[in-house]
A and B are shown apart, each in its own frame.
Chain A
């Protein structure tokens, strides 16, 4: 393996990892506040991709409009999900909440199946994102540059919101103690809805990037990236936004590198993440940057 190939794979890993990071943030935000794995989060990728396909394909809108609408609608869908499937169960046992999340996920998938049909559809990748640069033997698709740039920009925005605004402060406060925060006169439900909105907007953006990278859209496309992004969030230490980014990038690199260095294992690529998770939970359940998890937090 020479340096050039290594650099090439590094670029591939960076773009895959960035998408994982975007999705993982959604998991980590929600988990930090509600201690809930939002199983339907991965399906929001699919929602975004489908809205974009419909917008460009059916109504032949220009792509910026369709993409903007896709991200916006995905954000709304996330809020709706919280209102419909999670809020009624805020005081229920955890197992009910998880089952509700799984049911919501299946509902989204099968609604998409009913509305759009089971056939995979091609994703309309805008002209300006196709093609690649060639730098002295290094093959860099434009998308591989775009994805980390978009991710970086969104991350900066997110960090500004979390650490520089009143809403962000409320979010962080709820993450550390929900009951006390509600005593302080903060509308907890509104902040939770806002958290879902943020996470879902990022998932929408992640979904579009994913669909441009793998331009095939089907009702079940969100499951695997969703699960892997969740694992990335655990890897980084769930509840920790920086950790989610780190975990996403690491997982992306790991997957790409394993396939690159051991081509014979390519078929096992999807098992890598889960094996990693099992090993991780055995050795360091709190993840890389995670705080120690007490019983009451699990």
Chain B
């Protein structure tokens, strides 16, 4: 159950992330900032005033938030909207730059939001985080949002808007020369992805039921990056497959970190080995099969009949075994 919920949330996040990184070709490294915002907003809105006074022992919560209590869907929506508002605010400096600068600036957002979450105790309860959220997230909600996100992003990618985004990825100067307002197009994609990051964050918060700033570090972004690269940058289908595969493999790879007995020998668990394997996998995928699992292809029923070849390389190699 929990794993299936996780899969759905990661699909939502990965599809939204792929819109910016894959379809637009801009390396955005700040999804964790938007996810944090969504998670905190949604969490603060669903908690009852009584729960809030229980949580905020050190510094009391500021007034309007301390009394607010919304139903779950409204809170999720609010989480998404707060993320969009932040995206609107940051979109202007972000899309003045490209490439490496864009990567670092967006990376900075994640860092700044984390620092804020740690220090604005009157809103976020600081490093203590929020505990005891009601686990509203169930399969209906998580998969519903995942399907909605996929549908919206897929529709967008197939529209003229999506083709414009692709044009920007391939050659921004040429796209601009063809009359595409690159700033407005990129900002639109950025806002939409921010919305789904926010909603995904809200879902995540109500799945885990305990959130703190340390949950939303760059590590989260890195996981999403692995997912979309392995899935094939630019392919929504690839993002979905890889998100599901990654979440399941993440569970499976826990074995590596636990003590195991093989042929009577006891191999001690190696903490951190999971991440070594994952980062090595990402490195190998990006060097040796840059197109990932799906390349830029998408799934279609017509294509299914034509495709008999399978077995794409690029899965986790055995190189990292202890």
Partner-B contacts on A (CB < 8 A): 31, 35-37, 85, 88-89, 92-96, 98-100, 102-104, 106-107, 109-111, 113-114, 117-118, 219, 223, 227, 230-231, 234, 267-268, 270-271, 273-275, 277-278, 281-282, 285, 295, 298
Contact = CB atoms under 8 A, between A and B. Distances in A.
Interface stretch (B10-18, B105-113, B192-200, B308-316): B105-113
Nearest to A87: B287
Report the contact-size class of chain B (Cβ under 8 Å from the partner).
Answer: 35 or more
Interface stretch (B78-86, B157-165, B267-275): B267-275
Q: Which 7 A-B pairs give the minimum distances between C-beta atoms?
A: A274-B108, A113-B272, A106-B279, A110-B275, A103-B282, A267-B119, A107-B279
Given A94-B99, A107-B283, 14 more contacts: A93-B25, A95-B233, A98-B27, A102-B222, A102-B225, A103-B282, A113-B271, A114-B270, A114-B271, A219-B272, A223-B218, A234-B101, A275-B112, A278-B90
The SS class assigned to the B binding surface is helix
Given A35-B100, A103-B282, A227 B272 contact: no
Given A96-B286, A274-B108, A107 B280 contact: yes
Interface in B110-163: 111-112, 115-116, 118-119
A93 B99 CA distance: 11
A117 B271 CA distance: 8
Contacts of A88: 287
Interface centre among A95, A227, A285 (most CB of B within 10 A): A95
B276 A99 contact: no
Contacts of A227: 104, 107-108, 111
A30 B100 CA distance: 13
Given A96-B290, A227-B111, A274-B112, A106 B272 contact: no
11 contacts: A35-B100, A37-B104, A85-B287, A89-B287, A98-B27, A98-B99, A103-B286, A104-B279, A106-B282, A107-B283, A275-B112
